[in-house]
Structure 1
Amino acid sequence: MFSLKNASLAGLLIAIVALAVLITCKLILADGIVAIVVQAIAVLLMIWARLTFGFRSFHASADPTSGGLVTTGPYKYLRHPIYAAVIYFTCAGISSHLSILSVMMGIAVVAGLSIRMVAEEQLVAKQYPDYKSYSAKTKRVIPFIL
């Protein structure tokens, strides 16, 4: 049966499998200075987002938490800073190890997380009426662009 929670779980599993392939094949860690800097920024973004959001939840399937809509810290600029950080980190690693496999796995990571983001947004919008106006002025993964 299709549900937003099942879709978010499927997206997460796709991303995890693709990341596991990249890690196993040693295609995830950057070796060029620019890519290493991007990965360091991605890690800092993830930490900042986690500290801003707090440790109130992590669910395998999308499940909006109580406690209010978080719109401060990196959430002021991005609706999904943790997923954005994973995408930035992955793309930087792939840029250091370009191959058909790395690009395919990178596409899978982005696709899986995109599925999850869309499902989460629909669930959060149901719980928090302010989400619609927040999402209209805040980009999903790239500040001011996308």
Structure 2
Amino acid sequence: MVKKNIVDSYFLVGIQFSAIIFLLVIIPSFKWNIWGIVFLLLSGLLLLWAVFSMRQSKLRVMPEPDSEAHLIVSGPYQYIRHPMYTSVLLYAIGMLCFSFTWWRLMVLIILFFVLQLKIRKEEKYWKAKDANYKNYILNTKRMLPFLW
């Protein structure tokens, strides 16, 4: 069994939500453009698809799976292991397209690394929780279908 470090998890989730709020609220000059709209639409659709697919399990923002959670391998989870994290990054890229600043880019980069830390923690827990997870890793990509 993997030892849970809840303090680290709360820290990572806190940074994740702070970055999302920063990207949403701190907008020096907002300009609509097609790329921003495309990324936000992709983000929203992927998020809805992932949440709908997870209805059979326990939805959590923490990297530690709930004790009653079970592995979901349908919907977007049949292609990528972390569609919700992918959705967050698509949202962040969309917001950056609407209003580019170096600060916002830095927040996006920090968000990317925080999500990678959460993914590593989450995958470690799932490997210990479900023997099928190792096979699942072999058949899916982490965040981008067919690529990564």
TM-score by length of 2: 0.86
Q: How many residue pairs were aligned? A: 144
The 2-side partners of 1:30 and 1:15 are apart by: 24
1:104 aligns with 2:106: yes
Structure 2 portions without partners, runs of 5+: none
Gaps of 5+ in 1: none
Which 10-residue stretch deviates more, 78-87 or 15-24?
Answer: 15-24
Alignment partners' CA distance in 1, 2:94 and 2:71: 30
Q: 1:92 to 1:60 in 2, by over 3 A?
A: closer
**Structure-1 residue corresponding to 2:50:** 49
Higher RCO (CA-CA < 8 Å; seq separation 6+): 1
How many angstroms does 1:4 deviate by? 4.6
Matching residue of 1:122: 124
1:86 corresponds to: 88
For structure 1, which segment, 107-116 or 52-61, has the greater mean C-alpha deviation from structure 2 after superposition? 52-61
Deviation, 1:137, is 2.0
Which amino acid is 1:115 matched to?
L
Residue in 2 that maps onto 1:61: 62
Equivalent residues of 1:6, 1:61 under 8 A apart: no
Letter in 2 for 1:95: C
Q: For 1:83 and 1:103, locate their aligned partners in 2 and report how far apart those are by CA, in whole Å.
A: 17
Q: Report the aligned-residue RMSD.
A: 2.1
**TM superposition shift of 1:55:** 6.4
Tell me the TM-score normalized by structure 1: 0.87
Once the two structures are overlaid, the 10-residue window that deviates more, 2-11 or 37-46, is: 2-11
Q: 1:134 aligns with which of 133, 136, 147?
A: 136
Query: Structure 2: how far apart are the matches of 1:3 and 1:40?
Result: 35
